[in-house]
């Protein structure tokens, strides 16, 4: 690391590490009874300045979201500016996810008939710049133009100038027929991960760390897809078309994983790749009762007549 431009970048970013919230802080926030109490708790953290800014014009959950977004965007900007020149393309591609998230939110709002006012407050933005400005080509004014389009179809057409036409336009006919926005959102997600992995491929030999991070995100999304599908009791042919490529979990393994009897059985199959699943399953058990005890009580307990 000595003499590496990344050592300098790490030095610039290290002072920010202590300002990230710890596990205890999240436990306290979860206990807040409403958004206003949540905001008051944030006032004792590095989010305080942005909470004060947002409080001047908003209240409740919207105020909290604006404050969190402002802090988030500023940190992204600092991280991007600290990145050595050679690494910026892949960092820019990674941060472009927030442009994608904003676009998906706008398209979903159009599909649901939501107003501009309802939607703009929730853009991932610092209120002056969107999170993706340093990662893509869209400004906050661009997002406002999209919000101002009269229909989802008009919004999709307006996205052509930003390079999203080939991803969205082929799906418009199906949307007009079904009014199902999910295939459009999934296509944007697929294109995002394809773009990031393609950028990481040319990252001066250090690409393995970035690729591993992105692949772990894809794997986590696919695992959640299987778990949610199993929880909703969906057939396998309704779940697998939503699989995202690019992770380390092969799509060929999905049918076998999904053949699990129920969610706990599927979680057990996934646990070797996702140790946190086992930890979550343990923490969700009622205190003082083992799995064996619960099984016995279920098997021997009263049954309906």
**To the nearest 5 percent, what fractions of the chain are helix, strand and coil?**
70, 0, 30
Cα 21 to Cα 46, 80, 166, distances in angstroms? 9, 21, 40
* 212 belongs to a structural domain: no
Q: Which of 146, 115, 120 is nearest to 58 (CA)?
A: 120
Rounded Cα distance between 56 and 50, Å, is 10
* Phi/psi of residue 130, nearest 5 degrees: -80, 160
Considering 141-155, 200-214, 261-275, the range whose residues carry the highest mean pLDDT is: 261-275
Confidence of residue 68 (pLDDT cuts 50, 70, 90): confident
46 with 19: CB under 8 angstroms?
Answer: yes
Structural domain for 10, as ranges: 1-82
Q: What is d(CA 52, CA 37) in angstroms, rounded to the nearest whole number? A: 14
Has residue 164 been placed in a domain? no
What is residue 99's predicted lDDT score, i.e. its pLDDT?
Answer: 83
Whole-number pLDDT of residue 300: 34
Residue 67 lies in a domain: yes
> Where is pLDDT greater, at 295 or 174?
174
Full-model pTM: 0.74
Q: How many Cα atoms occupy the beta-carbon half-sphere of 268 within 13 Å?
A: 7
Does residue 8 sit within a domain?
A: yes
Does the residue 73 lie in any domain?
A: yes
Which carries the bigger pLDDT value, residue 7 or residue 131?
7
**Which helix (H) or strand (E) covers residue 6, if one does?**
helix 5-13
Q: Is residue 68 part of a domain?
A: yes
Contact predicate 129/139, CB 8 Å: yes
Specify if 48 maps to a domain. Answer: yes
CA distance 256 to 278: 19
Provide the number of structural domains found in the chain.
1
Handedness of CA 286, 291, 297, 303 (dihedral sign): positive
Residues 6 or more apart in contact with residue 149 via CB below 8 angstroms = 110, 155, 158
* Percentage above 90 pLDDT, the chain: 32
Q: Is residue 139 part of a domain?
A: no
Q: Estimate the crossing angle of helix 88-95 against helix 97-112, to 10 degrees.
A: 20
Q: What is the band of 6 on the pLDDT scale with cuts at 50, 70, 90?
A: confident
pLDDT, mean of residues 94-111: 86
């Amino acid at each position: 690391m000595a003499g590496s431009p990344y050592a300098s970048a790490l030095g610039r970013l290290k002072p920010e590490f202590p300002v990230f919230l710890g596990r205890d802080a999240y436990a306290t926030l979860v206990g807040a009874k409403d958004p206003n109490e949540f905001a008051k708790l944030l006032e004792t953290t590095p989010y305080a300045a942005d909470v004060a800014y947002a409080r001047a014009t908003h209240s409740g959950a919207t105020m909290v979201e604006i404050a969190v977004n402002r802090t988030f965007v500023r940190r992204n900007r600092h991280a991007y500016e600290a990145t050595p020149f050679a690494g910026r393309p892949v960092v820019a591609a990674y941060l472009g996810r927030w442009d994608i998230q904003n676009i998906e939110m706008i398209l979903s709002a159009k599909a649901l008939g939501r107003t501009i006012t309802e939607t703009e407050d929730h853009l991932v933005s610092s209120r002056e710049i969107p999170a993706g400005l340093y990662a893509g080509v869209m400004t906050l004014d661009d997002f406002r133009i999209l919000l101002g389009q009269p229909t989802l179809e008009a919004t999709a057409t307006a996205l052509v100038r930003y390079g999203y036409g080939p991803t969205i336009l082929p799906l418009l006919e199906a949307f007009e027929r079904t009014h199902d926005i999910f295939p459009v959102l999934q296509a944007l997600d697929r294109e995002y991960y394809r773009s990031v992995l393609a950028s990481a491929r040319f990252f001066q030999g250090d690409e393995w760390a970035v690729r591993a991070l992105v692949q772990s995100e894809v794997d986590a999304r696919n695992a959640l897809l299987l778990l949610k599908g199993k929880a909703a009791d969906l057939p396998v042919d309704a779940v697998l078309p939503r699989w995202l490529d690019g992770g380390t979990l092969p799509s060929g393994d999905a049918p076998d994983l999904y053949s699990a009897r129920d969610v706990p059985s599927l979680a057990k199959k996934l646990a070797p790749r996702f140790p946190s699943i086992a930890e979550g399953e343990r923490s969700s058990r009622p205190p003082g009762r083992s799995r064996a005890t619960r099984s016995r009580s279920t098997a021997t307990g009263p049954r309906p007549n």
